[in-house]
Amino acid sequence: MIMYILILSLILVLGIFTLASKDLLHSVIALSAISMLSALLFTILRAPDVAITEAAVGAGVSTVIFVWAIRHTQRRDKEES
């Protein structure tokens, strides 16, 4: 039980970091960490299939696409008027 709460609060903190960070690359890394943590939680929750999918698709493919997108745009999240 404590384990679930621990992982979930870590996910929540990383989620807030993802949105608050000014460097989009850091956000992407936090997002893939969220995926890895979710995969861990799914393994604990006895959902191995979902864990594999989340690790492969969430942490793998989507990170690649995000990094590609950021490389073709800009890394900084700056406010313009």
Q: Which residues bind another protein (CB under 8 A)?
A: 1, 4-5, 8-9, 11-12, 15-16, 18-19, 24, 27, 31, 34-35, 38, 41-42, 45-54, 56-58, 60-62, 64-66, 68-74, 77, 79-80
Nearest approach, Cβ of residue 6 and another protein (Å):
10
Contacts of 38 (CB under 8 A, 6+ apart): 11, 54, 58
Nearest approach, Cβ of residue 31 and another protein (Å):
6
* H runs (alpha helix) in 1-81: 2-20, 24-44, 48-53, 62-72
Nearest approach, Cβ of residue 62 and another protein (Å):
5
Token look-up 């191995």 returns 48
